[in-house]
A = this chain, B = another copy of it.
Amino acid sequence: MDTDVLRDILEKVKEGRVAVDEGMALLKSHFYLDVGCAKIDTHREWRVGYPEVIFCSGKTVEQVKAIVKAMLEREANILATRASEDLFEEIRKICPAAVYSSLARAFTIKRKALEVSSGYIALVTAGTSDLPVAEEAAVTAELFGNRVERIVDVGVAGIHRLFYNLEAIRGARVVIVVAGMEGALPSVVGGLVDKPVIAVPTSVGYGASFNGLSALLAMLNSCASGVCVVNIDNGYGAGYLAGMINRL
């Protein structure tokens, strides 16, 4: 796929160190693990720096178990999101080391320690009801070796709460802001810090919030610069991206 690998194969084949058919097989075996219902992207860690993550929603218990089992044969840390408590109980049977966060609805299996980042991610939430999404972000970022500072319930209706926590936010290398309803907090934070702001709209709200659409649109239209947006309730995506930026 990528020219480095291409060149490497060419070199080896040219020097006769590797036969043509062997070269073909070699390439394939490095790239994914076929478990029938899924092709686990084992090449991913080498390619983008982190192992594949299991999105449990829409998968049967048997499917998730098959994937976890296959991944356990390798050394990478394992993260599974949108996992019900029932599903976790099944997983714990095959891997007692698995740890569940009921707030984040995620489980992790830590196989190797990552060096913790020196810089940290500020994780800001507008309200108490946004905590599950925020915690999914925290679990994700922490598993990938990031330090996370949580600043809870500082939404714009009582904006002084934000100002009294500004120092902690400004000290971070990257900021995640989680908010539902009118989704105004990322704009205010974006206007006050000189770091990237990752905005996460949540489906918290009712009526014309249309399950997070209102917050999503508001964040996309932020008049503050340096703000980007991920999908509604996508704590995982925000945690992953923040970790990537934090470790640059």
Using a CB–CB cutoff of 8 Å, the interface residues on chain A facing chain B are 1-4, 6-7, 9-11, 13-14, 16, 20, 23-24, 27-28, 31-32, 36-39, 41, 43-44, 47-50, 52-53, 55, 57-59, 63, 67, 82, 126-129, 131, 152-161, 163-164, 166-167, 170, 173-174, 181-184, 187-188, 190-196, 198, 201, 203-210, 212-234, 236-237, 240-241, 244-245, 248
Besides A158-B191, A220-B231, A227-B241, 4 more A-B contacts (Cβ < 8 Å) are A1-B192, A7-B24, A39-B152, A207-B232
Q: Is the CB of A161 within 8 A of B207?
A: no
**Chain B contacts of A212 at CB under 8 A?**
207-208
A48-B191, A218-B184, A231-B220 as given contacts; A196 in contact with B163, CB under 8 Å: no
Q: Is the CB of A131 within 8 A of B32?
A: no
Q: Give Cα distance in the complex from A27 to B159, angstroms.
A: 14
Q: Give Cα distance in the complex from A221 to B201, angstroms.
A: 13
Q: Give Cα distance in the complex from A114 to B32, angstroms.
A: 37
Q: Is the CB of B47 within 8 A of A194?
A: yes
